[in-house]
Amino acid sequence: MKNKKGFLQGALCGALAMLLAAGLVSCGLKAKNSNSGEKDTTEAISSETDKKLEKLESLINQYYLKDVDQDELQQGIYEGYIAGLNDPYSVYYDEEATKSFQESTDGEYDGIGAVMSQNKETGIITISQVYEGSPAEQAGMKDNDILYKVEDEEVTGKDLTEVVSKIKGEKGTDVNLTVLRGDDREEVTVTATRDTIEYPTVSSKMLDNGIGYLRITEFDSVTYDQYMNAYNDLKSQGMKGMVVDLRSNPGGSLSIVCKILDEILPEGKIVYTQDKNGKEEDFTSDEEHQIDIPMTVLVNQYSASASEIFAGAIQDYDLGAIVGTQTYGKGVVQQIFDLKDGTCVKLTIAKYFTAKGQDIDGKGITPDVAIDYQADENNPEADNQLNKAIETLQGEMQ
């Protein structure tokens, strides 16, 4: 390892400097009392850490068999530092992962065109939706496949955002994926050729009896315009009632879901957040717009975060029944901090509460009409949950 003297110590100091510069001293370096003892406590912890890193560096130099990639070692320090928070939602992202964040906010990216969800207890990643005509579909991937490996590396239990960043890549390049399919967990390996994906977060169609169906797969920067276009199109077709499908929607932007809810709710509070100091911030709707037709909202165990804000607001204002299964239970808010070197860190900064003060973190939203999804082998298009949402809506329309 060339020029390795003091590398680990310098790398840690670099990590601390970046985090402190970003205003992230709340990570645990400071003492609880915000007085003169803070600096001494920080320096003491840093000194002990420096000594431990020097020992580790010495052992690596003396005994480690393989070559050492200094950049990888440095990234590992940053990643491990944030991982030490033991918060599944707080993550350090390298330049590649940070670039993926930026691409997603533009509404298009180079990838394979599949939506993935992760079970918070098992760490299993499931392909919850394969876009029609996408590289994923062309490669043979199917809804409900379990993602097992990316380029022969097992991904179960790894941070979902990091896994997705490895699947994304330059248009025209290939990525090898191994999935487990069906009840017998058949192992299937496919090769998908990445392409530019227009990120469709909203889809809609008219059903019978004047019922409009509107599905939102994620709340991104493009979602508000897509929602309004779909809603207005359904209204122009004579929509008299609406089913909003949020199943397997992992969440997204707090501001975007509130902007959509402002088009639905009467004047009042949508949701509020509370930070570590107890400071509250309200997100409200005005009286200019509100829905004038009955609605139902479909959810499942993968409906999380912004999806739960949506469902919780509809439930609190009694604007329609929530149909499906208990939601994921992610009632915390994250913020992305730019570290000014092409990388970023995502930190949990607050809890959120529904308009009526529901704390759903670790609990989820309880549906008004509980019904598990049951696949019909004789009719793959059958959807008993959607049928129940339609039935419930028809009762409200009478």
Q: Which residue has the tokens 């049928």?
A: 387
- The answer to whether 94 is a known catalytic residue is no
The H-assigned helical ranges of the chain are: 7-21, 37-63, 70-83, 95-105, 135-139, 160-167, 223-236, 254-262, 306-316, 384-397
> Among residues 128, 204, 305, 307, which one is catalytic?
305
> Among residues 316, 346, 383, 388, which one is catalytic?
316
208 CB neighbour count, 10 Å cutoff: 7
| Residue 196 contacts residue 229 (beta carbons within 8 Å) | no
Taking the C-alpha atoms of residue 109 and residue 194, their distance in angstroms, rounded to an integer, is: 10
Taking the C-alpha atoms of residue 129 and residue 142, their distance in angstroms, rounded to an integer, is: 8
Cβ neighbours of residue 282 under 8 Å, at least 6 residues apart?
269, 272
- The answer to whether 305 is a known catalytic residue is yes
- The answer to whether 330 is a known catalytic residue is yes
> Among residues 168, 259, 269, 330, which one is catalytic?
330
Taking the C-alpha atoms of residue 192 and residue 171, their distance in angstroms, rounded to an integer, is: 11
Tell me how long the chain is.
Answer: 398
Q: Which residues are catalytic, by number?
A: 305, 316, 330
